[in-house]
Amino acid sequence: MPVAVSALTGGARASARKRAWWVKSVDRPALGEKTADFKRFSGDNIFAIYRQLKTKRDGAGSFEAEQAAKAKRMAGWMREGKPGFRLPDHQLSEGAWTLMKANEPGAGLLSWTRISVRTPAELGVGRHTAPPEEMAETVKAAARLYGAGLVGIAPMNEAYVNLRQEKKDIVFEDAEVPAVTGTKYVIPKKMKWVVAIAIPMDLDLLARAPTALGDAATGLGYSHSAFAVASLAEFIRGLGYQAIPSVNDTALSVPFAVEAGIGELSRLNKLVTPEFGPAVRLCKVFTDLPMACDKPVDFGLVEFCKKCKKCAEACPSRALSFDDEPSFKTRGPWNNPGHKAWFEDSYKCYQYWQKVGNGCGICLASCPYTKAAQAWIHGAVKATASIAPAADGFFRIMDNAFGYGRQHDPERWWTKDAPWVRRG
Which of 238, 357, 361, 410 is the binder for ligand SF4 (CB under 6 A)?
A: 361
Question: How buried is residue 419: exposed, middle or buried, by Cβ count under 10 Å (0-12/13-18/19+)?
Answer: exposed
Task: Tell me if 165 contacts ligand SF4 by CB under 6 A.
Answer: no
Task: Tell me if 31 contacts ligand SF4 by CB under 6 A.
Answer: no
Cβ nearer to ligand SF4, comparing 185 with 369: 369
Cβ nearer to ligand SF4, comparing 256 with 395: 395
Rg of the chain, C-alpha, whole Å:
21
Cβ nearer to ligand SF4, comparing 254 with 305: 305
Q: What does the buried/exposed string (b/e) look like for 160-192 if buried means 16 or more CB atoms within 10 Å of the residue's CB?
A: bbbeebeebebbeeeeeebbbeeeebbbbebbb
Cβ nearer to ligand SF4, comparing 128 with 331: 331
Which of 239, 297, 349, 373 is the binder for ligand SF4 (CB under 6 A)?
A: 349
* Cis-peptide, bond into residue 210, ω within 30° of zero: yes
Task: Tell me if 218 contacts ligand SF4 by CB under 6 A.
Answer: no
CB of 278 to ligand SF4, least distance (A): 6
Task: Tell me if 319 contacts ligand SF4 by CB under 6 A.
Answer: yes
Pattern of binders to ligand SF4 over 281-310, x per CB under 6 A? -----------------------xx--xxx
CB of 37 to ligand SF4, least distance (A): 25
CB of 337 to ligand SF4, least distance (A): 20
Scanning 212-279, the segments in alpha helix (DSSP H) are 212-238, 253-259
DSSP 303-330: HHHHHH-HHHHH-TT--S---SS-BS--
Instruction: Return d(Cα 221, Cα 200) in angstroms, integer.
Output: 7
Q: Do 189 and 333 touch, CB atoms closer than 8 A?
A: no
Which of 368, 373, 378, 382 is the binder for ligand SF4 (CB under 6 A)?
A: 368
Task: Report helix, strand or coil for 237.
Answer: helix
Cβ nearer to ligand SF4, comparing 100 with 195: 100
φ and ψ at residue 161, rounded to 5 degrees? -90, 130
Within 222-281, which residues bind ligand SF4 (CB under 6 A)? 266-268, 272
Instruction: Please give the size of the binding site for ligand SF4, defined by CB under 6 A.
Output: 25
φ and ψ at residue 233, rounded to 5 degrees? -60, -40
- What's the DSSP call for residue 197? E
Contact footprint for ligand SF4 (CB under 6 A): 266-268, 272, 304-305, 308-311, 315-317, 319-320, 349, 352, 360-363, 366-369
